[in-house]
Amino acid sequence: MRSQRLPRRAVSSCSSASGAGAFTLLEMLVVIGIIGILAGLLLPALTAARERGREAMCNSNLRQLFMATEMYCNHFDEYYLAAARDINTTNLERWHGIRQQTGTDPATGAPIYTPFDPSLSKLAPYLYVNTVVNTTGTTGNAGTTEAQIKQCPTFASKWLGAGAYEIGCGGYGMNHLYIGSHEYRTPIYYTSDVASAPSTFDDLITVESGSNRHEVRVPDQTVLFADAAAPDGNYSGKLIEYSFAEPNYFTNAGRWDPALPPYGDFHPDPNYPLDTVDLAHSDNPSLHFRHTGNANVIWCDGHVTSEGPLYSRTLPVTIFSTGMQASADYSTYWLGWFGADDNSAFRLEKNTVQCVQIPVPPAE
């Protein structure tokens, strides 16, 4: 009796069924490669979307600072708050907070301070957002509700280094030279030679309060706050919080040069008005272009813009840990300025101010 054979079609069908769902190594590698390519294409878009969200939060923080500043002006006869009221004396106060001395280092005799506490800022009563309840008593009084300045999320996630001196400003700087003080038109003398060249106002009056709101001639073209930062004291590549938005140059009232002791202060040149922009003496840039190459700015009329492109400078600096002189390329930190190179984004008068290179006087 001959054995029965399965039909050819049945054999073929069974063979096909046994291989269903199987993948070769080559097929798996192709699929993994496609997934990797798709991930590579999508990642930049996702990163850009996340940064746009952070930038929007930063804009919101700046608007809150503007509204708090406006309410402060309404309550204090149209004057802006001081950016650093006691910087020439005890140096404990900033627009964003106050620090307190807690003791003295027994080894060096140097005073020991708390960090700047935003709850003690003169803006704190007008910042009704992002409050925390202090339960430890490390800053302020235990059990109190403290107003905090919201931090720029891009700065916090990408740039902020440890040991920030002016911690608490959120990564934002105030236009201190023109808005937060009268330094642009009032001499400050760090030397003892005040008698031979007296200032119009006392040094303390210079920084005691900000300018009057009515002095801002073109509010929509005058910086109030902006993204700001500074290199750490050793210029090691890290950034720290910094509470001033520095203009491009010093003025005749406060000319500065690091080669002259004790602080490089010059007496004003009598041939020029005090508010003359001195193109011979650059300030150290602090505007931080951290949002994909742009810096967020809130102007004195309350509108926010994203400014770029960045231009910067290489300037002489002093290394904190060694006291040695060096040079720093601020562009590597994404620090610099935008727009015209003449303080015009910061100063109150736009058309009547002189911008000249004031000759350097001989060293005293």
pLDDT in tens, 253-293: 887 665 555 455 667 888 999 999 999 999 999 999 999 99
**1-21 mean pLDDT:** 49
Cβ atoms 253, 196 nearer than 8 A:
no
Q: Would you give the distance in Å from CA 58 to the centre of its chain?
A: 11
* Euclidean distance between CA atoms 314 and 114, whole angstroms: 33
Structure pTM?
A: 0.80
Which band of pLDDT confidence, cut at 50, 70 and 90, is reported for residue 327?
Answer: very high
Average confidence score pLDDT of the chain: 81
Radius of gyration of the chain (CA): 29
Which band of pLDDT confidence, cut at 50, 70 and 90, is reported for residue 317?
Answer: confident
In tens, the pLDDT along 40-76 reads 776 666 666 777 889 999 999 999 999 999 999 999 9
User: Could you tell me which residues come within 8 angstroms of residue 358 by beta carbon, excluding any fewer than 6 positions away?
Assistant: 252, 255, 269, 272, 276, 278, 279, 280, 281
Q: How many CA atoms lie within 13 A of 140 on its CB side?
A: 20
Greatest mean pLDDT among 291-300, 309-318, 321-330 = 291-300
